[in-house]
Amino acid sequence: MEPLDRDAVDRIAALARLGLTEAEREALRHQLADVLGYVGQLAGLVLDEAPPFLGPAVAPLRADEPGPSLPRAEALANAARTTAGYFRVPTILE
Amino acid sequence: MAADEATDWGVAACAQALRTGRVSSRELAQAHLARIERADGAIGAFLAVTGELALQQADAADRRRARGEDGPLLGVPYALKDILTTAGTVTTAGSRLLEAYVPPDSSTCYERLTAAGAVLLGKTNLDEFAMGSSTENSAFHATRNPWDHARVPGGSSGGSAAAVAARMAPLALGTDTGGSIRQPAALCGCVGVKPTYGRVSRYGLIAFGSSLDCAGPFARSSADAATVLAAIAGHDPRDATSLDAPVPDYAAALVGDLDGLRVGVVREHLAEGLDDGVRAALEAALDVLVEAGAERVPVSLPHVGYSVASYYLVATAECSANLARYDGIRYGRAAPADTLDELLARTRDEGLGAEVKRRIMLGTYALSRGYFDAYYKQATRVRGRVRADFDAALEDCDVLVGPTVPAPAFRLGEKRDDPLAMYLSDIYTIALNLAGLPGASTPCGLVDGLPVGLQIMGRPLDEATVLRVADAYERRTDWAALRPPEGGAP
């Protein structure tokens, strides 16, 4: 598979909120193409009757009963920036 | 008591020594901590040695024993892969992003082992966020294979495997998403068990692929692994995907013979590309199983050749979603930034390593508009076929066996620049994760002086039969008891 073009890599990086250096972008153009070329072999398989299998997990619901949750101080303990008991983030709205 | 002697003991031997009063939990912990101090400089199995905590837990175990309590893990030391949270003790997932992260609570695995009286020696090294097959993707340092320090221990649970193989701990926990317990167990010459998906709680298991991740034991015998599995398995209301099924008496299942058992040999696993030495070791292992009473049955898993492709779409899609939480806001490293976009992009750029970024990118691509059907959805259809193949094969036999790894441990650096080559080293282990079934690897020989493993795969929730086969094999061979050469040169 041809290396991905820069725009394609940038578009995916933007979706994934990943900052990339120029060197990383260049390496990824080729590495992603290699892997996508390999996994792309699946596209040719005719599997119309096969239902998607999302894994063996069964996740039953539980009763809607309140219980203890993480105390605020512990929840905030690993945050880089907090203010008055809240997580602090850069301004979102001007 | 000679320090070296105690560190040769497996789990059962430790328990017996503690029970007879030959050694106290504190002495046993000290012997292992001393061994870690002597041996780990050259191997790098540990990210953190929890010396003080170990002695506290050991003393607590000694007090419990003095009050008349006993149990198979009471006072037994162990190591924990640093992707399982331990409240109050840094848990990094092998990532710069979490290098200072102190979890507010503990994984269920850690809680259950603590309740059983086991003693935590330290947190072991791993590929970052469990993504890798060599432990070279750790943000901190690489771990070396105890059998040859120029080679990898496998991954992603390389630290746990190396710790057990090098006698720094009689047991360790790892996690297996694409083979990350079984493959390092094979490359380091110890036993590793991946339980059925949902058998062991994922609460506190820092998520990589939520439909694939499983925690499980490393030990130097299947009997020891069975003991640990019994302690950590079972329903957990804090993990919605944990199975509400009783935990059988695994020890009672280790009857020693395989009379009446049908062992399936997967035709696709014996195809070209299998190293001659591994093939010979596998054939010899099959002979031992037949001698033990098993019947050999040829089976086919027709879609197994597509497993690696399916996995690197499904697992990467899941990881792209799971790692979206690392935004520098609630926990983890945070980059200086004026805008939210900058915060996210810079935090993730600085905090995440190349392999993690690569997988997030792949997963994002596979889920993106225009590619979702051809990539991700198709991969889930293939996954269903792989599971159906296993179900069909396991109607004709009780377990499937084959090689765990295509070749013994490769050299550090050998596959770092070739992601696809690295992915293909999981060729025999990955299908089992897609299917959600249990499997174990037990050492079955040396190829060029390096260990390789026999993989045993079973029906859902039938860890008992998987362990029975591995145990019967271990009783008739010496591979699992071999010690790596001191000094780590072949």
Q: Which of B137, B306, B329 to mutate to test the interface with A (most CBs of A within 10 A)?
A: B329
- Per domain, the residue ranges of chain A are 6-44
Tell me if residue B377 is catalytic. no
Say if CB B231 and CB B263 are below 8 A apart. no
Element (H, E) at B286: helix B276-291
- Tokens 């002086």 belong to B449
Query: A80 and B329: CB-CB below 8 Å?
Result: yes
The span from the CA of B472 to the CA of A93, in Å, is 66
pLDDT < 70 regions, chain B: 1-4, 490
> Is residue B453 in a domain?
no
Q: How many domains does chain B have?
A: 1
Q: Which of A11, A42, A70 to mutate to test the interface with B (most CBs of B within 10 A)?
A: A42
pLDDT at B378: 95
User: Quick one: tokens of B243?
Assistant: 């199975």
> Is residue B415 in a domain?
no
pLDDT at B211: 96
> Is residue B414 in a domain?
no
> Is residue B301 in a domain?
no
The span from the CA of B12 to the CA of B66, in Å, is 19
> Is residue B177 in a domain?
yes
The span from the CA of B244 to the CA of B247, in Å, is 9
Which residues of chain B neighbour A28 with C-beta distances below 8 Å?
Answer: 357-358, 361
Q: Tell how far CA B130 is from the center of its chain.
A: 10
Q: DSSP class of residue B86?
A: B
> Is residue B246 in a domain?
yes
Which residues of chain B neighbour A13 with C-beta distances below 8 Å?
Answer: 361
Query: A24 and B342: CB-CB below 8 Å?
Result: no
The span from the CA of B138 to the CA of B153, in Å, is 13
Distance from CA of A3 to the nearest CA of B (A): 14
- Best CA proximity match to B431, nearest among B291, B306, B329, B314: B306
Q: In this model, does residue A55 exceed pLDDT 90?
A: no
pLDDT at B490: 62
CATH number at residue B232: 3.90.1300.10
> Is residue B370 in a domain?
no
Size of interface A-B (CB pairs under 8 A): 173
Distance from CA of A15 to the nearest CA of B (A): 7
Give the domain extent around B184: 3-258+464-481
Give residue B33's identity as a one-letter amino acid code: L
Element (H, E) at B281: helix B276-291
The span from the CA of B291 to the CA of B305, in Å, is 30
Give the model confidence (pLDDT) of A28-40 as tens digits.
Answer: 999 999 999 999 9
The helix/strand/coil state of B93 is coil
Say if CB A50 and CB B385 are below 8 A apart. yes
Which residues of chain B neighbour A51 with C-beta distances below 8 Å?
Answer: 381, 384
Closest to A35 (Cβ–Cβ): which among B312, B368, B374?
Answer: B312
Q: DSSP class of residue A56?
A: S
CATH topology of domain A6-44: Histone, subunit A (1.10.20)
Which residues of chain A neighbour B387 with C-beta distances below 8 Å?
Answer: 53, 56
Per-position b or e across B406-416, b if 16+ CB within 10 A of its CB:
bbbbbebebbb
Long-range (24+ apart) CB contacts under 8 A made by B142-145 are B142/B44, B142/B412, B143/B43, B143/B44, B143/B45, B144/B42, B144/B43, B144/B44, B144/B412, B144/B488, B145/B187, B145/B188, B145/B409, B145/B450, B145/B484, B145/B488
Q: Is the pTM of this model over 0.80?
A: yes
Distance from CA of B474 to the nearest CA of A (A): 31
Say if CB B164 and CB B189 are below 8 A apart. no
> Is residue B137 in a domain?
yes
Which residues of chain B neighbour A41 with C-beta distances below 8 Å?
Answer: 306, 309
